[in-house]
Copies of this chain bind each other. A is one copy, B any other.
């Protein structure tokens, strides 16, 4: 159930049976020579929709641009400053809490979002922690990375092992190919596995990772793998969502 595809009356009905909502959050940034700039948003969105179907949950529109300052050395990458993203998350939660939603499940497609979104949750909680009188009803936020599902990790470690890497991974590229068959671009990477390391800003990143990949070989991507990963992620995350919403 996509929020965008409902009327307000539908949402009123939904709130009688559940106060949980799934919020996909991704990023718009380079993903190496054959990965889509939308990879992280696409992964979050398709897994989010899958959770919605599996758990009968409402799914908010995807936050497509995340915190990706380090990718700005590659054309097409976009970022929100951390303080901007904090404001976006805060307004998102406040808007939905206004209607009675209390469980906010952010399904995340981008490692670079974790710190800022976690900080955003603390910014939200700080208001009721500092002014406890207003703490009604109790809201809870959770950030879940789709790729940290144990089922997903089992598949990707068998399929890719040391070629999985941490950016522009064959797993995420495969997942986008499953979602968008027209996106498939078979390529041989050179070197096969990209270097690993750390980075600070976008100049430093581009210096260290000249084609955008970190430690990965997305040349190994395939639609078949994408389908398996998708199903695994949805199963794990839907279970996790249900437990999150059911908890006190």
A: residues with CB less than 8 A from B are: 2-12, 15, 28, 30-38, 41-42, 60-62, 64-65, 67, 69-70, 72-84, 86-88, 90-92, 94-96, 98-100, 112, 114-116, 118-123, 125-126, 128-132, 135, 138-141, 180, 182-183, 185, 200-204, 212
Contact = CB atoms under 8 A, between A and B. Distances in A.
A37 B8 contact: yes
Contact of A8 (B42, B76, B98): B76
A228 to B, nearest CB: 23
Nearest to A115: B118
Contacts of A33: 7, 9
A61 B28 contact: yes
Contacts of A122: 67, 69-70, 81-82, 112, 115-116
Nearest to A128: B201
A56 to B, nearest CB: 16
B61 A64 contact: yes
In the A-B complex, list the 10 residue pairs whose CB atoms are closest, starting with the nearest.
Answer: A4-B38, A11-B76, A115-B118, A8-B30, A61-B64, A129-B202, A125-B201, A11-B75, A69-B126, A78-B95
B200 A125 contact: yes
A174 B54 CA distance: 30
A185 to B, nearest CB: 8
A91 B33 CA distance: 25
B115 A92 contact: no
B91 A80 contact: yes
Contact of A123 (B74, B81, B112, B139): B81
A61 B70 contact: no
Given A61-B41, A67-B122, A119-B119, A95 B130 contact: yes
Given A75-B15, A122-B82, A8 B212 contact: yes
Contacts of A118: 115-116
A35 B9 CA distance: 10
A171 B61 CA distance: 22
Contacts of A112: 122
Given A61-B38, A64-B62, A70-B125, A132 B78 contact: no
Contacts of A72: 95, 98-99, 129-130
